[in-house]
Structure 1
Amino acid sequence: MTRTLYLNGAWLPESEAKVSVFDRGFLMADGIYEVTCVLDGKLVDYAGHAARLQRSAQELGMALPLTEAELLEVHREIVARNALDQGLIYLQLTRGVAERDFVYPPAGTPPTLVMFTQAKNVLENAAAEAGIRVALLPDLRWGRRDIKTVQLLYPCMAKMEAKARGADDAWLVEDGFVTEGSAATSHIVTAEGVLVTRDLSHALLPGITRASVLELAAAHGVRVEERAFTPDEARAAREAFITSATNFVVPVVAIDGATVGDGKPGALTRDLRRFYIETRRASAI
């Protein structure tokens, strides 16, 4: 089935959705994006994603062309038009079409807003059952990783290098500490059962799933520490896992070839995935 896309106020078949070659997202990576999970045809953690989109836009001086109510309505409409039961909505906002220049175009230049869906079985995830292996690589991204920009070339390179090393994904390291994964938040559980994840700063993206999982952990009596941790701490951890919008909670069972814990998905990781799915399925809109 051909998908229906949203592009600057119009609903179009994917074959007819076109963006100018002079769009700054194409020429300058001058754009931001969000990915919202869809489960049972409803939006998961939508408020967090909408708020982060607004923050990213403000940080870069971009204007959203839709009000909060209109943005929610478009999300719901694209789900309905594509009969999406499970999967994701990808949204991208760029500064729009202008002559190529390092200087931003004049205020009032219309932005480009595009949205499309991808079907994905988010509940049945083989990686969540078996766990993933990660390789540690240097974090060579730009300094404002708290803004969800379309500058994704280095994360792609890191993921490909990790696969070349026989791993499934990469965890990135800067100044001796893990920042985050190539496209997910990194977490460890210490031998004492403390959930440790990096504190928020310009060094990493404020993950929406991260926030929900930390809230759930605390609600179930798990001690949480938001601080940087080293690769050695990660290797010595009892459990490790990643969080992201469409993967939810996925165990990490090996780091640079060293087994994490007993090499199997840990009990707390499995519980947090279950808690997340149950609560977010119930609260999806």
Structure 2
Amino acid sequence: MKLLITRPLPDAVMQAAHRQFDVTARQSTLPLTAEDLRASLRDFDAVLPTLGDLYSAQVFADVPKPRASLLANFGVGFNHIDVAAARAAGVQVTNTPGAVTDATADIALTLILMTARRAGEGERLVRAGKWQGWHPTQMLGLHVSGKTLGIIGMGRIGKAIARRAHHGFGMEITYYNRSPAEPGLPARAVSLTEAMAADVVVAAVPGGASTRHLINAERLAEMKPGGLFINISRGDVVDEAALAHVLQHGRIAGAGLDVYEHEPHIHPALLTMENVTLLPHLGTAALEVRTAMGMMAVENLVAHAAGLPLPNAV
């Protein structure tokens, strides 16, 4: 079975794949090009793609009878794959849920603390040699303990964020979810408007057409002036221009982002703001986590090759 792996993966994952399949592994860390995408469907039995490999409806339309019968996505998010078009072409899609939950929740708390306590700004001050020493009113930020956290999306990751914030920092949890959810700790299900009015707001919804620009100018206007906005979901969940606008005009206190609407490109205004924490999509960037994700993708591939039910079909 010929398998294309579209990006370099941890060694243990590559070894596991080579034991099972005839592997072609791209060495580039960049997404597949338009021609690469089409060739992957024509020339391989299965593909292990990841974020940025844009399998759009047009790609499947251009390869109406693909040789590939499985896209074993590396990552829990799969909004870069048109799943309906894939299914219509006879291509199944899997993902890697579960493996990413705790690591992504950790990055949410990292962004909350960095933004609230002005850690990025402080480090830049020290590295620039401009720090003149401690004084009582130096770089005063937000004390997060006991504050209200509004979580937009109470899935696996939202629940993991809630546990950390409630048990670790005594935060009061409100959340908005499109379907009933049981967070497993004291938390109030509220409207999206009320969730946006928390001291700190975290977007943790899946990507896709239904959540694109869920956080827009109207929603950002519902935040309190001292509020912090954090995004660890997908970049296009947020209207980045609208976020830049409210920050520029001081309508919210700050933001922390790990994902971007036009990744890796970032709205220029955000790059200049001291009250914005910007991370390079580090949500799952730990070796053991990326290895677990890759092994899950390989398990999906092995099941597919054996004609067994897919463990993580989407």
Q: TM-score, normalised by structure 2?
A: 0.28
Bigger fraction of residues in strand: 1
TM-score, length-scaled by structure 1: 0.30
* Max Rg structure: 2
